Amino acid sequence: MIKIKDIIEIPKENEITSVEDHHGEFMHNLIKDNNLKSTLEIGFAYGKSGAYIMSATQGHHVAIDPFQDDFKNIGVENIGRIGLSQHLELHRDFSHMVLPQLLKEDRRFDFVFIDGDHRFDGIFIDFYYSDLLLNPGGFILFHDTWMRSTCMVESFIRNNRKDYKYIKIKENNLCLIQKVGKDNREWMHFKEFYTLKSFWAYKMTIKKLKLKN
């Protein structure tokens, strides 16, 4: 694997906002090991996660980010630095605008990385559409699982979406799920997902992160 961290450029003061290198390597290996081809990323920023994803597929990658201009197009430039600009399809708009359009175009993906809006409703909408766009057997990876908003979306999936399997991974601050069946819920189905178990799982995540740092 090419050394992404040695090629791309991120302003020193903003390095903390990008995925950690071991997270990028995890994504790269997941994609390679499972021969995943079509990839989608919600939240592009400095292009670090996109660089790891694209270096694994060496192919087409869809990214969504309405704020690339605010990042001074450094994300786009970083993809150029690894020589894969021709494979990047960047949508400079909000995910709630782009994802329905991708669905209307009958686009499908093997891997989706959700790291955009970090509010509960934003993450939930990103999951909702990612699920509809995901191929059977495909993977969704959530970033920033230390946040309560992300934990609540995870809890909803655990309690209401039996067509997804949680995959235990060693990486902190990431959550990986795989689509293993069809959504056969009845039209009135709902199971409470604000549980003490999910609350204490969140507390343990925070504790582990504090111990690590």
Closest C-alpha to 38, from 116, 126, 118, 137:
137
Please report the pLDDT score of residue 22 as a whole number. 95
**pLDDT-based confidence at residue 190 (cuts at 50, 70, 90):** very high
Torsion sign across C-alpha atoms 19, 113, 43, 185 = negative
- Tens of pLDDT along 18-27? 899 999 999 9
pLDDT band at 157 (very low <50, low <70, confident <90, very high): very high
Look up the domain containing 150 and give its range.
4-212
pLDDT at 207: 75
Q: What rounded mean pLDDT belongs to the chain? A: 94
Q: What is the pLDDT of residue 14?
A: 79
pLDDT at residue 212 is higher than 90:
no
Q: In total, how many domains does the chain have? A: 1
The rounded Cα 114 to chain-centroid distance in angstroms is 3
Which pLDDT tens digit goes with each residue over 91-114? 999 999 999 999 999 999 999 999
Model confidence at 1, in pLDDT bands (50, 70, 90)? low
Helix axes 120-133, 95-104, angle to 10 degrees: 10
Residue 151 φ then ψ, to 5°: -60, -40
Helix segments in the chain, DSSP class H: 4-7, 21-33, 48-57, 74-81, 95-104, 120-133, 148-160, 196-212
Q: Are 136 and 179 in contact (CB under 8 A)?
A: yes
Q: How far is CA 42 from CA 9, 21, 67, 113, 172, in A?
A: 20, 18, 12, 6, 20
pLDDT digits (tens, 9 = 90+) for 10-68: 998 877 778 999 999 999 999 999 999 999 999 999 999 999 999 999 999 999 999 99
Residue 84: what residue type? L
pTM of structure: 0.93
Q: How far is CA 101 from the centre of its chain?
A: 19
**Residues 27, 39, 81, 96, CA torsion sign:** negative
When computed from its CA atoms, the radius of gyration of the chain, rounded to whole angstroms, is 17
For residue 16, the domain's CATH number is 3.40.50.150
| Dist. CA 21–CA 105, nearest whole Å | 33
